[in-house]
Amino acid sequence: MELELRHLKMIRAIAEAGSLTGAATVLGLAQPVLSAQLKRIERALGGQLFERSRHGVRPTALGELVLGRAQMVLPALRELQEEAVRFAHACDDMPRFRLGGTHGPLLGALVHRLATASPATPVSTHTSWSVREIATGVTEGRVDFALIGTCGESPPPSADRLVWREVAVDPVFAMLAHGHPLAGREQVELRDLAGESWADVPGDGCFADCFAAACARAGFTPASVYETDIAALVQVRRAVGLCRATFPPTPGLVTRPLAGAPLSWRHLLGWHADAPAAGAAPVVLGHARSAHTEAASRNASYATWLAARPVPDPAAPSALI
């Protein structure tokens, strides 16, 4: 048997997981299949790569040697593939905007602004709840720009490989049905919602942990949190929603600031510095910021909240991550 790249990925996964069971889960394989494959790899390499015990596995001296080489080969191959894809796209000189983003009003507004400003330039979108998936699309050259959000100050995915610029930072608001007892307040204390169920959009960031921590500081543990279509559950009074302050006005619903702004959401635009589209990044970033300003002005609760805050210094540089 000749050693293949997939074998190196298996060896790396086993070392990182510390067990065959954990590595099998990560790789999407049955544990007996992975165990049999490891034995074939070890026979091909002439010795045992891992010492097994009831506490898991750890690399042998031979295993350390192979892992060291794998740590050089696998990233190099990934970079080669990404560079080749970017080169192939660079050979296609047709201008275009390929946008990746999470679901929300800013992506649609950005599409509209770009299409209006450059009607002859094709605009396409790829949406996903996973910010990692979107960032991977940029690093692999399948997407030009990623418009995503992160909780608070948490870093965006692929922060060491992509350029990220801040579009804006929003507080997280509570979404309530019109008939909710607290819907008439200008702002809502988080602790006053202690008995509620909650609804939030799906995602792979740290927002769920940040929300749980905010509730703990307010003195309670959420009864339940649904990751689903927020508006649908709020309208039937099944839950209170957690939404970005730019959420557009919706019949039957109101959005209200949480007192003290215990949660925030940072909108980011990302791109690859070596991609052909990088030269258009300042234009796309400007349109994204304008789209956010427009979205904020359409939400009366957010406009009121912003009016009560100090005006930011327009000369202050945006964050480069």
Sole residue written with tokens 């047709």: 94
- pLDDT lower than 50: segments of the chain: 91, 313-320
Q: Which fold has domain 95-321?
A: D-Maltodextrin-Binding Protein; domain 2 (3.40.190)
Class of domain 5-89: mainly alpha
Q: What local confidence, expressed as pLDDT, does residue 73 receive?
A: 85
Q: Indicate the domain borders of the chain.
A: 5-89, 95-321
Q: What local confidence, expressed as pLDDT, does residue 311 receive?
A: 55
* Predicted confidence (pLDDT) per residue in 42-66, tens digit: 898 899 999 988 888 999 999 899 9
Coil, strand or helix: which one is 91? Answer: helix
Q: Is 306 left (phi over 0), alpha (psi -120 to 50) or beta?
A: alpha
Closest by alpha carbon to 10, among 46, 57, 55? Answer: 57
Q: What local confidence, expressed as pLDDT, does residue 277 receive?
A: 87
- Work out whether strand 56-59 and strand 50-53 pair parallel, antiparallel, or are unpaired: antiparallel
DSSP-H helix ranges across the chain: 5-17, 20-27, 31-45, 61-91, 105-117, 131-139, 207-218, 230-235, 281-298, 300-307
Coil, strand or helix: which one is 98? Answer: strand
